[in-house]
């Protein structure tokens, strides 16, 4: 099918290697540049779904690009150019093997752990007496180890990250500082759109020159959770679920169909009709998060479009 992109195998000039993540595919070039292709693959519970979602890669890439540009004055990032709607080009970095998850509210994974009776998440105390979607007194950082494709990310504490030598204490303090700054700016941007940035994750890497920079996606519906601000208080007071903008609607659909990525469970069948609803929802997410109307790129042959755009860009280097 030419109208979605779920796998690539390009051979660019000066290409050294290709790494395939859950959603993104990373091409390393000789000149210390990376080409990152955001595919239409859909991942939930650390499992890649068997069908792709039209326009999902474009949506994630374009939101991430806008948010990188909107935070570059606070935190340096890897981005150099976006020569195609699905593609970003940036500086080659050595990724830190942790994801910096920051939570302003008791939602998602944190809420599921809380309901199970846990009050300590990644070494951070969660107050007693909270209900789902309540705000924390101050945002908490709950890191996870970065999983390979098909594996599960694992919660880990700050102390264990440093003790195990995953990240040095000096570098980790920078990651924490950057994480808080990005979340504060992201929350401000969300508020201007009538949204609440509930939780999100950031990934960082170190350049050849030893500079720590933000990498991967930022403030997208795959990496973040948003609530609508206008009725947040009323819904909390009435003990009603929050209306949210995130990939959580996919997770909830999977849960309702007896799938949470656990051993022995099978991914439920996704009909073409359901796939279209997911695609439409991602378009809605884009419009609300960016405050702009999504413009669909030409998807008559995405592979050819990406290859042409990238080859033309590489000629300019």
What phi, psi does 213 have (nearest 5°)? Answer: -135, 155
What pTM was computed for the model? Answer: 0.90
pLDDT, position 245:
80
Nearest to 247 by CA among 273, 276, 279, 270: 279
3-state secondary structure of 4: coil
Give pLDDT, residue 2: 60
Query: Do 151 and 220 belong to one domain?
Result: yes
Residue 4, domain member (yes or no) = no
CA angle 262, 268, 272 (to 5 degrees): 145
Q: Are residues 46 and 180 in the same domain?
A: no
**Pair 149, 103 in one domain:** yes
Same domain, residue pair 147 and 237: yes
Contacts of 105 (CB under 8 A, 6+ apart): 133, 134, 135, 136, 196, 198, 199, 227
Domain for residue 259, yes or no? Answer: no
Shared domain check, 184 and 89: no
pLDDT of residue 269: 94
Residue 280 within any structural domain of the chain: yes
**Domain assignment of residue 252, yes or no:** no
* CATH code at position 68: 3.30.200.20
Q: Is residue 281 part of a domain?
A: yes
Provide the token pair at 94: 């050595």
Same domain for 165 and 67: no
124 and 147 part of one domain: yes
Whether residue 199 is contained in a domain is answered as yes
CB–CB of 34/90 below 8 Å? yes
Look up the domain containing 111 and give its range. 95-246
C-alpha to C-alpha distance for 107 and 201, rounded to whole angstroms: 14
Helical H runs in the chain? Answer: 56-71, 108-115, 158-163, 169-192, 232-237, 248-256, 272-290, 302-314
User: Which residues of the chain fall below pLDDT 50?
Assistant: 149-150
Tell the burial category of 246 from Cβ atoms under 10 Å away from its Cβ (0-12, 13-18, 19+): buried
Identify whether 154 is part of a domain: yes
CB 4 within 8 A of CB 299: yes
Residue 149's pLDDT is 46
**Contact residues for 37 (Cβ-Cβ < 8 A; gap 6+):** 5, 8, 24, 25, 26, 27, 57, 86, 87, 306
* DSSP letter, residue 298: P
Are both 111 and 220 inside the same structural domain? yes
Q: 95: which strand partners?
A: 205
Looking at the structure, do residues 24 and 158 belong to the same domain, yes or no? no
Pair (111, 234) in one structural domain:
yes
Instruction: Kindly list the distances between the CA atom of residue 120 and the CA atoms of 58, 142, 177, 266, in Å, as whole numbers in the listed order.
Output: 37, 10, 22, 31
Co-location of 157 and 283 in the same domain: no
Domain annotation covers residue 254: no
Contact 228, 220 (CB under 8 A): no
Helix ranges restricted to H, 46-168: 56-71, 108-115, 158-163
CATH number, position 120: 3.30.470.20
Number of domain units in the chain: 2
- 83 shares its domain with 201: no
Radius of gyration for the alpha carbons in the chain, expressed in angstroms and rounded: 19
DSSP-based three-state secondary structure for 192: helix
Both tokens of 54, joined, read: 């039209």
């Amino acid at each position: 099918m030419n109208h979605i992109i779920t796998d690539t195998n390009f051979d660019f000039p000066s290409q050294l290697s290709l790494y395939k993540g859950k959603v993104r595919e990373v091409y390393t070039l000789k000149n210390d540049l990376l080409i990152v292709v955001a595919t239409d693959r859909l991942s939930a519970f650390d499992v890649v779904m068997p069908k792709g979602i039209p326009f999902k890669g474009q949506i994630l890439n374009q939101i991430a690009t806008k948010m990188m540009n909107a935070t570059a004055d606070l935190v340096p990032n890897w981005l150099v150019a976006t020569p195609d709607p699905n593609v970003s080009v940036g500086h080659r970095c050595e990724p830190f093997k942790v994801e910096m998850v920051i939570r302003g509210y008791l939602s998602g994974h944190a809420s599921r752990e809380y309901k199970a009776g846990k009050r300590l998440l990644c070494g951070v105390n969660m107050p007693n007496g909270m209900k789902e979607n309540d705000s924390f007194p101050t945002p908490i950082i709950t890191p996870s180890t970065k999983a390979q494709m098909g594996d599960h990310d694992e919660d880990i504490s700050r102390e264990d990250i440093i003790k195990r030598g995953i990240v040095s204490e000096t570098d980790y303090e920078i990651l924490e500082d950057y994480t808080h700054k990005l979340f504060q700016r992201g929350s401000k941007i969300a508020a201007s759109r009538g949204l609440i940035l509930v939780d999100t994750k950031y990934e960082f890497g170190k350049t050849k020159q030893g500079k720590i920079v933000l990498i991967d996606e930022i403030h997208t519906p795959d990496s973040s959770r948003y609530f609508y601000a206008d009725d947040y208080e009323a819904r909390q007071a009435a003990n009603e679920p929050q209306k949210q903008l995130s990939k959580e609607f996919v997770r909830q659909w999977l849960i309702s169909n007896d799938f949470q990525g656990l051993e022995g469970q099978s991914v439920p069948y996704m009909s073409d009709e359901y796939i279209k609803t997911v695609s439409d929802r991602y378009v809605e997410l884009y419009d609300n998060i960016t405050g702009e109307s999504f413009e669909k790129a030409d998807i008559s042959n995405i592979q050819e479009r990406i290859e042409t755009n990238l080859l033309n860009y590489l000629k300019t280097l």
